Amino acid sequence: MITLIPAIDIIEGKCVRLTQGDYNRQTVYNASPVDVAHAFEDIGCRKLHLVDLDGAKASHIVNYNVLERIASKTGMEIDFGGGVKSDDDIRIALECGANKVTAGSIAIKEPETFKRWLVVYGNKVLILGADVRDKKIAINGWHEDSGVDIMEFIGNYAKDGVSQVICTDIGRDGMLEGPAIELYKEIIDTYDDLQLIASGGVGTMRHIADLERIGIENVIVGKAIYEGTVSLKEVERLNMTGTCLQNE
């Protein structure tokens, strides 16, 4: 069974979505992220992927108050990312109610800090963020190409004990044309002990079923829900029955 994790991305306290990570191509979907989180919880979603896009751009957490409100008003397990670059950032995220924290840029720029966090907080809390464009890791809100190969990046941290990786194919993100099946299959075939969380490109329940068939157990879905190409009823049915498609 695959678990659908809805995404809420925050800019200036509002629920938005970007296309291919471009801040100039943003759509505001709701002024109240708390209301959106409640709607997801009401249809059986137990996990939430919350991204501070202002924080990603500013290189420090900005929308911690939104995290705190959602955490205090829902019972969802929250994975928080965006702008987690310092000890203060990860402390604030956890104190404000995050159950897990995703960090990517710091793992490239300050690997010793990331490794220390892995020891201090454990691999059940710290998730490795692997945002990729043309198989190279992108950092700092997807604006900078690190030049680091994704397989090398994941492999190095797998050796250090990372057990959870969120991989987002930037070129597919927000396009609704399908996820990076071949890339994800390569990752899970190479690192079969990792929990790979797929992100980017999902536009239909068929896409989710395709991910499930290659062994993906968790998928983050954002724009497809907000645009209605994946309906709330379909999400609810998946949560209740574990079935992606009507004929399965």
Q: What is the set of active-site residues?
A: 9, 131
Separation of alpha carbons 224 and 30, rounded Å: 15
Please state the separation of Cα 69 from the chain's center in Å: 19
Closest listed residue to residue 158, CA positions, set 190, 199, 202, 206: 190
Residue 9, C-beta contacts closer than 8 angstroms, at least 6 positions apart: 15, 16, 17, 18, 51, 53, 222
The answer to whether the beta carbons of residues 110 and 121 sit under 8 Å apart is no
Separation of alpha carbons 129 and 142, rounded Å: 11
> Pairing relation of β-strands 77-81 and 100-103?
parallel
